[in-house]
Amino acid sequence: MDTVHRSALLRFSPVLFCMYWIATVSAQCDVPPLPLAWTNTTVTSDGLGVTRGIEMGIGTPNQIFALRPYTALNNTRVNNVADCDSITNDTCVGGEGGVFNSQASPTYSVSIKGNWNGSQIDAEDSTGSYVYFNDRVSFQSAASVYGFPVVMDSEPQGGSFSGLPLGTNSSFLRAAVKGGVAPSQVVGLWAGSRSLAPVDGLMVLGGYDASRVDGNFTTFPVADGSESLPCPLQVNVTALSFAGQPLLNGSEVMTACIEPYVQRFVFTPAIANSFAQITGQNATLYSGMDYDAANTPPGDLTITLSTGYNTTITNSELFTLRRGSDQYGRYAITNASVVEAGISDNRNKDPASQTPTLGGLFLTFNYLVTDYEQNEFRLAAAVASDVDTGTTLQTVCTPTATPSAKPSPAPSPKRPINTATIAGGIVGGIVGLALIASAIAFFLFRSRRRRRQNQDPPPIPEMASPVMSPRSMSDANTLRSPMTWESVEAPTMEKRQVSEVHEMPASRPPVEMEVVVCGGTAGNTIAARLAEAGKRVAVIEAGGFYQTESGNASVIPGVLTVQYTGWDPTDTQPLIDWDCVTKPQAGGAGRILHHASGKILGGGSARNYMANSAYYAAAIEDYDANGTGPFASTPSFLTFEQLSDAAPHLLKNSTNAALNLALPSDWPEIKILSADAFLGYNQDNGPGPLDGCRYASFVISMVAPFSCENGTLKSGSMSDLPVVDPVWLTAPEDQDVAVAAFKRTRQIGEKIQALGGTIGGEYFPGPERT
C-alpha cells in the first residue's frame, strides 16, 4: 500500500476547495510501453492501397496512414490529398502511405509555425508548400490524443517525404508522453523482415521488446549538431566485407547514419563499385544492383563498428526479388526473375551528395533503443526473424518534465486554436469513478442520514520499411543534407474518374415525431418520458458523445469531468464545452472565469459528475447494502457533511443561524471527496509537480450556497453565448462556509497523519497559510 504526503490547498472558488498529499510512485511511469506494429497497412478506402509502415489514424474520423520511422525528422509529416488529385488514386495514395483531407476532419485546426506546438527546428524543403496543423491522432490499440502537431506537405505529385519523427526534438514522442499513451520518449525498434518470408516489425514507445534482443546492448553517444551528417544516430564503420572480401580499404573509416526510414544500405560510390565488381553485377543486362534470380551472388555482408560491434546481414535478406510500387501503390514483387541487392546503386553519384546510411535492413539484424534524455542510443543483436519470440515489453522511464513547446488543445472547426494543453492527460480512473458518483451519492446520503440521526457520525475511511512513393527504390534511398530527400522525377500518376453519386429518392411517407432541442439533463428527461408514453422522439444536440469526443478524457470513466474545468478561460475543449466565461467576479478578485458547460449529449450533467449515472447509482447501492462492488476497493471516498451540526465552532454564529433557517435539518452544506490528483489553484489541469511523486487531494464543494447564479441571453442569435454571472463568494455566509470547509479539510488530513497514513506534512499551500 502506498504511503502518502499530506498537503492542503484552498482553491479560489465557492464550488471546489482542495487539499493535497503526496505518494512516492510516479504516475507517468505507471503508463505501460506502447507497441506499434510495423506492418502492411491499408491506406485507401477501397482496400487496394497497401503500404508497409507504422499505422496511424489522423483526424476525425480516422484517416489511415502507414508512416516510416525517421530519426532525422522532428515533426509528423503527411501529404495533402490534393497531391494525388483524388482519394481514389490508389497508385498515388498507396505510394505516399496515405494522404490527408483536411476538409473531412472537423477537429482539424491550422496554425502558423511560430505559434504551433510542434518542433521548430526541422529544415523545410524549398520546393514544398507546408501547412502546420493540429488534429486528433490515434495510436493503433491505444487511446487517441487531441491537439497533435502534424506538418502537411502540399507539393504537387507528392511531397519530399512523409514520416514518423524519431528525432532528438520529436513532437511526436513529446505528444505521446504528454497525451498519456507512453511513459517516456525512449524508443525500441526492430524493423522486421522483408524477405520472401516477411515478418512484421515493432516499434515500442517508452521501452523495448526484450524478447527480440539477443545478448547485451552496446551504447553509442547521440551526435550533436556539429556533426557533418544530418542524423542523430551515427556510427563509425571500420570494417565492411561481402563474402569475405573487403569493401573498405585498409584503415579507411566510414561514418554512417542509422536510419530506419531508408530500407537499403547507402554506402559511398566507391564501395558500391567494389560491391558490384565482387558480385559480378552486369550493368548491361540489369539496371541498379539487380541480378539474375537464378544466379544470386553467394555470400553475406559483414559490418564492424569502431566499438568492435559486429553484425552479419545474411544472403537471404540482402538479396530479394525485385520490388516496387504496383498499379495500386502497393510495395510488391514486380519481377520474380530478378533479385536486387539491398545496397543503393549510387556508383555514378557525386560522393559529396551521398550520406552513408545503415537502413531498415540493418535493423532486421540489430535491435535499436534510442534514449535522448540520456544522450545515447544502444544496439544489440536481434533474435532471428524466423524465430517466433512473442512480445516482452520492458519499460524504460525516468519521471521528469517533458521538454516541449506549449501543446495545443483539441481544435474546433468554428474557432481554430493555436496553443494550449494537449488533450488526453490522464488524471486517473479511480478519481473519475468517485467524481462521477458524487451527485448520486448525495441523495443516498440523505436517506442514510435520516436513518442515522440518532447515531454517532461514521469514522473517516482510510492510481517500414519505406512507404515507396512512385519513385524507384534506389532513388528514394539517397539522402542529402540537410535532412531532405534527393529530388527525382516522379512517373505519371494513374488518375481515376470519380463515379457519379445518384441521390436515392424518398420512399417513406412523413412521420409524426416529437422533437426535443438540446440533449441536456432536462431535454433527455423530457425525451425519455415521451418515449415511455409511446411517442417517436428525436433529440437535437449541438455536441457529440462525451464517451468519444475528448480522446483519453473520454475513455477513462470520469476524467471528462476533470479535464478542461479550470478557471482560466483558455482551459477549454471546444468539442465538449461551449467556452462560456463569466462576468468579472467580485468574489474572484475581479477575474473573468471559465464556466464549464457541456456541449455534449448529456449537457452540463455529463461534465459535472453524473456520467453513466445508472451504473454508478447501482454500484453505490451495492456498496451501501453489502459492502461489495467497485467502491469496496477504491482508495477514494465521498461524503457529505453538515458543518452547522458537526463543526459549528468553525462557523460564525450568524452563519449558523442563517444555515439553520434556510436549510432542512438533514441538508449538508459541503461535499468532501478524496482524489489522486493535483489541481493547484485549478487554473488548468496541469501535470502538477514533476518530482516523481503522485499527489492526492481533498476536494470540497459547497452544496447550498447563498450566492445565486444568474444568466441572461445576449441576443436572439444562437451563435452568441449567454451572459453568465454566478456571483461566486459574494454572500458573507458563503465566504464563512468556504473558510470553515478549508479548516475542516485540514482536520481530516491531520487525522490521517496521526494514523500513519502520510510521510510528510502539508504540501500546498503550506501550514503557514491560515
| Rounded-to-integer distance, Cα 594 and Cα 546, Å | 19
| Rounded-to-integer distance, Cα 39 and Cα 192, Å | 9
| Rounded-to-integer distance, Cα 342 and Cα 297, Å | 13
DSSP 297: P
| Rounded-to-integer distance, Cα 477 and Cα 259, Å | 10
Is residue 608 within 8 Å of 439, Cβ to Cβ? yes
Cα 262 to its chain centre, rounded Å, is 26
Q: Which grid coordinates are listed for 167? A: 528525432
Half-sphere exposure of 152 (CA within 13 A, CB side): 24
| Rounded-to-integer distance, Cα 73 and Cα 257, Å | 13
| Rounded-to-integer distance, Cα 506 and Cα 484, Å | 54
Half-sphere exposure of 45 (CA within 13 A, CB side): 10
3-state helix/strand/coil string of 53-119: EEEEEECCCCEEEEECEECCCCCEEEEEHHHHCCCCCHHHHHHCCCEECHHHCCCCEEECHHHCCCC
| Rounded-to-integer distance, Cα 338 and Cα 571, Å | 60
> How far, CA to CA in Å, does 202 sit from each of 195, 205, 575, 614?
16, 10, 33, 41
What pLDDT score was predicted for residue 636? 58
Is residue 527 within 8 Å of 516, Cβ to Cβ? yes
Is residue 464 within 8 Å of 68, Cβ to Cβ? yes
| Rounded-to-integer distance, Cα 443 and Cα 439, Å | 7
| Rounded-to-integer distance, Cα 444 and Cα 439, Å | 9
Residue ranges of the chain whose pLDDT lies below 50: 1-26, 158, 401-508, 610-615
| Rounded-to-integer distance, Cα 115 and Cα 137, Å | 20
Ramachandran sector of residue 746 (left: φ over 0; alpha: ψ -120 to 50; beta: rest): alpha
What pLDDT score was predicted for residue 564? 73
Q: Which H or E element spans position 553? A: helix 552-555
Mean pLDDT, the chain, rounded, equals 75
| Rounded-to-integer distance, Cα 607 and Cα 564, Å | 10
CB atoms within 10 A of CB 144: 26
- Rounded to 5 degrees, what angle do the CA atoms 537, 540, 542 make? 165
* Global pTM value: 0.53
What pLDDT score was predicted for residue 518? 87
Dihedral sign for Cα 258, 264, 269, 274, please.
positive
All structural domains of the chain: 17-27+426-461+557-571+597-702+732-754 (no CATH), 32-186 (2.40.70.10), 188-395 (2.40.70.10)
Q: Which grid coordinates are listed for 526? A: 423530457
DSSP 212: G
